[in-house]
Amino acid sequence: MLIVVINVIIVYMTNLNAVTDKALHYLPIPICWFDKNLNFLGTNKKFLQLFLLSENQIIGEHISKYFDSYNFMSFMGNFVKDTELSAEYQHSILIERKLVHFKFSLQQITNPDRIILLSAEDITPLIEKNQEIFSLKEKALQSSRMAILGEMTSGIAHEINSPVAVIISHADQIKLRLKRKEHLTDENLDTLRRIERIIKTSYRIEKIVRSIKMISRDGAHDPFQNTLISDLINESIELCSEKLKNNKINLIIDEIEPGLFLDCRPAQISQILLNLIGNSNDAIAQSDEKWIRIQVKDAGDCVRFSLIDSGKGIPAEIATSITESFFTTKEVGSGTGLGLSISKKIVDSHFGQLYIDKDCPNTKFIFDIPKGLSAVI
Ligand SMILES: Nc1ncnc2c1ncn2[C@@H]1O[C@H](COP(=O)(O)OP(=O)(O)OP(=O)(O)O)[C@@H](O)[C@H]1O
Ligand SMILES: [Mg+2]
């Protein structure tokens, strides 16, 4: 279309010089023309509108006064020197703080004098579309890289955790043997302390590896099971009750409606509960008032899990960051900052929501899991 219009313009400019200005003035394509030294001879209305110029301003002026890009000016300069009759050039210009992408077309008209005709086609939508396609491709590539990384991590996690389990088992044996001794020398006590350190650190390695394994997979292929909530809660707290007892934290479980079932991936829901309980434990372990309360309620469309602790809430300045991976306020070595991001990922994969109840005077995390997921998944 543009080519046809340009050819028509050339015919006009070559043959009908007197009426050319008027005829070209209302063309919908921005055009302007120069003499052989690149001084403006004329423009149409569209060109002036587009580049926010007035006719009086530019006639007789050199193009470099308004188009000062080095590359663009080199292209124009070379075109004038060469014997080429036409050329195209893609160039982007900032107009009213927006980058507009143009395809400039140049034509030489040599009858009677040498005139250079420049037309500009706004190709911004095309360029933006291409950029969008490029970024979608990048995203697809990125998620396939993540999938490969997930598979690799899973394999590596297994390779790491098996020898770690062997270390823990041997260290436990040594610890037991030492503890069985009637009199422990200072050296024995020192060995015992070191062994306990080895065991603690090994458990930490296991935990980090498990967390990384968890976060790098989406768990989307685990089957959904119709799960009795009271069983799920009891099995979950089994895994942390010892730690809570040691810290003298009172765990209260409000009565759960008998026969309340939920379609879910039970191991994952259990993982969320353990992460939340672990966080509460860390937050209140040194407080005077120490309790954690778990409530599970049938909330109509979903089952609502609430976990409240005796803390005084999450400070507003960190509340929006706590579900980000690796965000932690814990000392180096005691928190990886993965617990809540993993929990959020699991809740998302159950089409639910995880949030803080800001109206509660204590720290209260809630996660809602919709009912009937087996029927839709
Ligand atoms: N119950 C809570 N009370 C106070 N702060 C909390 C509570 N739960 C989470 N937080 C804050 O949110 C941060 C992020 O929690 P998250 O569970 O993601 O990581 P973490 O507990 O620091 O480390 P990890 O869980 O990997 O061992 C915590 O470091 C803490 O600052
Ligand atoms: Mg945590």
329 CA distance to ligand 2 middle (Å): 10
Q: Could you list the pLDDT tens digit for every one of the 377 residues in the chain?
A: 555 555 555 555 555 454 556 667 778 888 998 988 899 988 888 888 888 888 888 899 998 888 878 888 888 888 888 777 889 999 888 887 788 899 999 988 876 678 888 999 989 999 888 887 887 777 677 667 667 777 777 788 888 888 999 999 999 999 999 999 888 899 999 999 999 999 999 987 887 676 566 555 555 567 888 999 998 898 788 768 878 999 999 999 999 999 999 999 887 898 899 899 999 999 999 999 999 999 999 999 999 999 999 999 999 989 988 998 888 898 876 787 888 988 998 899 899 999 999 999 999 999 999 998 776 66
> For residue 56, what is the enclosing H or E element?
helix 55-58
Cα–Cα distance list, 104 to 90, 92, 280, 293 (Å): 6, 10, 64, 69
Chain-centroid distance of CA 183 in Å reads 58
Ligand 1 nearest atom to the CA of residue 327, by list position: 14
Closest protein CA for atom 9 of ligand 1: 279
Ligand 1 binding pocket mutation candidate from 210, 322, 324 (most atoms within 8 A of CB): 322
Cα–Cα distance list, 311 to 33, 70, 172, 240, 295 (Å): 75, 63, 35, 19, 17
Which ligand approaches the C-alpha of residue 212 most closely?
1
Supply the DSSP string of 107-151, one letter for each residue: EEE-SSS-EEEEEEEE-HHHHHHHHHHHHHHHHHHHHHHHHHHHH
Closest protein CA for atom 19 of ligand 1: 337
As given in the structure block, the two tokens for residue 193 are 């302390």
- Tens of pLDDT, residues 336-351: 788 898 899 889 989 9
Ligand 1 close to Cβ of residue 329 (< 6 A):
yes
Ligand 1 nearest atom to the CA of residue 328, by list position: 29
Backbone angles phi, psi at 40, to 5 degrees: -60, 130
**How far is residue 356's CA from residue 314's CA, in Å, rounded to a whole number?**
8
Ligand 1 close to Cβ of residue 272 (< 6 A):
no
Let me know if domain 225-376 sits in CATH 3.40.50.1100. no
340 CA distance to ligand 1 middle (Å): 7
As assigned by CATH, the class of the 2-122 domain is alpha beta
**Starting at the edge strand that comes first in sequence, how are the strands of the sheet with 86-95 ordered?**
40-43, 31-34, 115-122, 98-109, 86-95
Q: Is the overall model pTM greater than 0.85, yes or no?
A: no
